[in-house]
Chain A
């Protein structure tokens, strides 16, 4: 069971930084796109969503890593799902208690963290064969990598779609008087795919080894 994963860096520092950049869950592994489409219209819900996913990935990584040697291989997915679901319900209740407005905005997408591929992916790929501390750092890193992309996308969508940032108006009134209009396309989901595509484009052109060979 205790095999060393040679693909991922072993150094803890790298465990955190790699998912922010080279092994980013959204733009390199292309996971969690669905929630990125849904919650990135404004910065605030995007931030809360990113935080929730980070907490869920990090905690479930620790728990699974602790019991990784006792889980029977055949039912590991069910065990993982139970743990993720428990954590997600806890998060959902916390959000409802403290930030009710945002929780309403996020609606079903908090519950859907259970099926977020990033969480399951990290459990399967990392927590099942690494020690708890490393698994925790890996979870934090992947959550942050996911959050980073979410925030970049939400920044552009809110700025161009509503003219606000974090609900504060940043496009001055004089712009609107001069004929500027908010771009309705940025509020629609397709624009997220285009923005993510552009981020991938920029990212790949900086890391040419990631470009797929044809």
Chain B
């Protein structure tokens, strides 16, 4: 029924129709609801049911466990700080009321800009923002003021994406750019002990494991389980490693995210952790075992959902290993050595996004050289 309605109003949006100016908007809704009816006409292409839209939807599905757990955890931490416990649904509802405004603001602001720009340029609206708009709330602290989310989203979409030509042309991951904007613009809302629990009572310390260890407090081994399942304060989507692993399995199983990047990032983090264990001083942060780095902060979230962003990551096969390895190493390096930046994952990924084209360039050139050599060695008859 909806489909026939769309087909009925379609002529208005074609060239010469009354609402021609809103063509992009119409196409966006049409392709969001249904598979578009235009297909590749000529040339050899691999036809697959998976297109940009489907793969984006898969990422959104992979993010849902982290989102729902995040909502519940926001409520759980809030009630925990008042030393009360309420039922599961009350807890979830509280978190839902906290998180959903951030989600709505991020989507509304981002999509408004995307649609406006697409309209002005006559482009199609892409599905890329569906993922970005969901990632932004997940990497924010739960009680971030909504206008800040709006500013950061606008900054990320305009400066990070549209300036470079829209979806697929961006150099940096837009969601991380939004977080970087928040981090540098409003440091008081993005770090410290006060912000990780929504409306907490003043008597309760809201420090995350990351900030505790940075303050040289002895690492509490009983925290490890909590850190894995996610019963700790932190950014909305990053606390539960279990939910992130479920997401990772979905991404790997559907083949959307690159397992090379994901695993080399984790290996990079472990490697750097080992190096600090061996050569670092007696500082508590230097001595925590490498796998605990993975459980703290946003390391795993970044490795699974941010580093693997196909647009901003390295494209060559070997390049992906280098790219991931360096992300992991730099993230742990920043964490341990720079007390001003508690969480190095964001900066590490943004830095490596910048260098991804260079890594690719090196491997492509190397490949060219190797092939030229092979071609010049063989005799012309055999080619």
Name A residues whose Cβ lies closer than 8 Å to a Cβ of B: 179-181, 183-186, 188, 194, 197, 201
Contacts and interface: CB of A to CB of B under 8 A. Distances in A.
Contacts of A201: 163
Contact of B187 (A179, A184, A186): A184
B185 interface: yes
A179 B184 CA distance: 17
Given A183-B185, A183-B186, A185-B184, 4 more contacts: A181-B186, A181-B188, A184-B185, A184-B187
A26 B143 CA distance: 41
A141 B186 CA distance: 39
Contacts of B185: 183-186
Interface residues of B, number: 13
Interface in B296-310: none
A184 B188 CA distance: 10
B145 interface: yes
A183 B150 CA distance: 13
B192 to A, nearest CB: 14
22 contacts: A179-B145, A179-B147, A180-B147, A181-B148, A181-B186, A181-B188, A181-B189, A183-B151, A183-B185, A183-B186, A184-B184, A184-B185, A184-B186, A184-B187, A185-B181, A185-B184, A185-B185, A186-B185, A188-B184, A194-B159, A197-B163, A201-B163
A197 B186 CA distance: 22
Interface of B: 145, 147-148, 151, 159, 163, 181, 184-189
Contacts of B163: 197, 201
A201 B188 CA distance: 32
A214 to B, nearest CB: 12
A181 B163 CA distance: 26
A184 B185 CA distance: 4
A181 B188 CA distance: 9
Contacts of A184: 184-187
Most chain A CB neighbours (cut-off 10 Å) among B184, B185, B188, B189: B185
Contacts of B188: 181
A45 B181 CA distance: 26
A194 B172 CA distance: 15
Contacts of A180: 147
A135 to B, nearest CB: 38
Contacts of A179: 145, 147
Contacts of A197: 163
Nearest to B159: A194
A175 to B, nearest CB: 11
Contacts of A185: 181, 184-185
Interface centre among B147, B184, B186, B188 (most CB of A within 10 A): B184
A192 to B, nearest CB: 13
